[in-house]
Amino acid sequence: MGSTRALTISGFAGRSVGMSLGMEVAMTEPYYQDDSVTLYHGDCLDVLRELPDASVDSVVTDPPYALEFMGKSWDGWSSPRAFQEWCTAWVTECLRVLKPGGHMLAFGGSRTWHRLASAVEDAGFEIRDSIAWLYGSGFPKSLDVSKAITGTQMGYGGNSGAVRRATMGDAYAESGRQGNRDGAGRRDTGLNAHDLVLTPDAATWQGWGTALKPAFEPIVVGRKPLAGTVAANVLAHGTGALNIDGCRVATDEDRSRPPRTPNAIYGAGRGASITASESNPAGRWPSNVVLDESQAEVLDEQSGVLTSGLMPSGTPKRGKLAGILGEFKPQDSTSATYGDSGGASRFFPTFRYEAKAPTSERPRIPRNVLRLRTDLTPAQVDHVRARLTEAGVQVD
């Protein structure tokens, strides 16, 4: 996005910026800094309020989705409207700190992103697009209706805890509490147990659930209003446009541009340039659907190897019937496309998904090194380690 200063908002709620009695604002100290990154650790609203107007080129953020993720308090709001109001507050600050034309990418949850998108728009951003990130690692959080009916009819109730209780009897432990792990160390929730005898009513509902497998996360793409035209904005602020060539979907195929052929509508050489993206040797135009590797694999398994045919510009296209729109006249294609082959995933940018960055990719945060006397016994070293840990010191 042509950015030189990008702001990634992350951290945790809780630490606020102090103000002294003289109302002098104490700036948050960077938590980490190197030649390319300055990281602040604090409440996003506190940190954002300290940044000057129009000082940021782009914002990429993965805020809470208001889904009460793993029961975390930072992911819960009293109502969807309250969540939207919180979004509007930080999005408004993002708008202020961005340069004109600066882009914001904000990740959202598939159940709540309409609130996020409305906040982005209400704060004054132009919604430019939404990117669908498709991934394969999600688990459905679905209630088994037949088990819920059985649990209810056995007098335990119909929620997932009650179903576990009905299924596991004496072995029952509340979710997230004690043991009950299987051989691979996974917590045995009991929901997959097959020894729950379904009631006749429940048997009718076998195979019914309440949720789909999550495989998509939306990313709202907003742009701060431009100062003038795109050209004027880009020249004045270095923001406002997308670096398409920097994001092309690479391919091994020869995608060099074929010679242009005269075109029935535009004549030789005209028109084709607008849509000639598919013939760029650097790869395909980046799409608003992106995949992780497992989703790309699934897609390729489904599609098998496909071959797209070569179509030089000027190739006559057949007219086609288009339902209520009537018949389209036959036209010549205005752009050249290349023949290539592969799975369907080759049309989309594919990213490696890592839940957490590997140690090798994490910045090194300077640590205090405590040297112990060399004559300590292993038991004494363990004792020191235990006391330090008790005192809240993280010990490697």
Ligand X SMILES: C[S@@+](CC[C@H](N)C(=O)[O-])C[C@H]1O[C@@H](n2cnc3c(N)ncnc32)[C@H](O)[C@@H]1O
Cβ(272)–Cβ(336) below 8 Å:
yes
Residue 31 binding ligand X, by CB under 6 A: no
- Whose Cβ is closer to ligand X: residue 46's or residue 144's? 46
Cβ-Cβ contacts under 8 Å for 6 (sequence gap 6 or more): 56, 57, 58, 59, 60
- Segment near ligand X (CB under 6 A); pick from 8-16, 124-132, 195-203, 301-309: 8-16
Q: How far is the CB of 9 from ligand X (least distance, A)?
A: 6
- The whole-angstrom separation of Cα 222 and Cα 365 is 33
Q: How far is the CB of 44 from ligand X (least distance, A)?
A: 4
Residue 214 binding ligand X, by CB under 6 A: no
SS (H, E, C) 307-336: EECCECCCCEECCCECHHHCECCCEECCCC
- The whole-angstrom separation of Cα 314 and Cα 265 is 9
Residue 218 binding ligand X, by CB under 6 A: no
- The whole-angstrom separation of Cα 195 and Cα 204 is 17
Strands 56-61 and 98-107: parallel
Residue 12 binding ligand X, by CB under 6 A: yes
3-class secondary-structure state, position 53: coil
Running DSSP on this structure, what letter comes out for residue 260? P
- Whose Cβ is closer to ligand X: residue 13's or residue 54's? 13
Q: How far is the CB of 15 from ligand X (least distance, A)?
A: 9
- Segment near ligand X (CB under 6 A); pick from 6-14, 92-100, 323-331, 383-391: 6-14
Q: How many chain residues are in contact with ligand X, going by CB under 6 A?
A: 11
- The whole-angstrom separation of Cα 328 and Cα 330 is 6
Q: How far is the CB of 320 from ligand X (least distance, A)?
A: 45
Q: How far is the CB of 64 from ligand X (least distance, A)?
A: 5
Residue 332 binding ligand X, by CB under 6 A: no
Q: Which of 2, 11, 76, 271 binds ligand X (CB under 6 A)?
A: 11
Q: How far is the CB of 359 from ligand X (least distance, A)?
A: 15
Q: Which of 2, 3, 5, 13 binds ligand X (CB under 6 A)?
A: 13
Which residues make beta-bridge pairs with 33?
A: 38
HSE (side-chain half, CA atoms, 13 Å) at 50: 18
Q: Which parts of 55-74 interact with ligand X (CB under 6 A)?
A: 62-65, 74
Residue 137 binding ligand X, by CB under 6 A: no
Q: How far is the CB of 362 from ligand X (least distance, A)?
A: 12
Residue 70 phi, psi dihedral angles, 5° rounding: 45, 35
Residue 10 binding ligand X, by CB under 6 A: yes
Q: Which of 43, 57, 144, 292 binds ligand X (CB under 6 A)?
A: 43
Residue 328 binding ligand X, by CB under 6 A: no
Which residues make beta-bridge pairs with 244?
A: none
Residue 44 binding ligand X, by CB under 6 A: yes
Alpha carbon of residue 66 to chain centroid? 15
Residue 32 binding ligand X, by CB under 6 A: no
Q: Which of 350, 65, 116 is nearest to 104 (CA)?
A: 116
HSE (side-chain half, CA atoms, 13 Å) at 60: 6
- Residues contributing to the site for ligand X (CB under 6 A): 10-13, 43-44, 62-65, 74
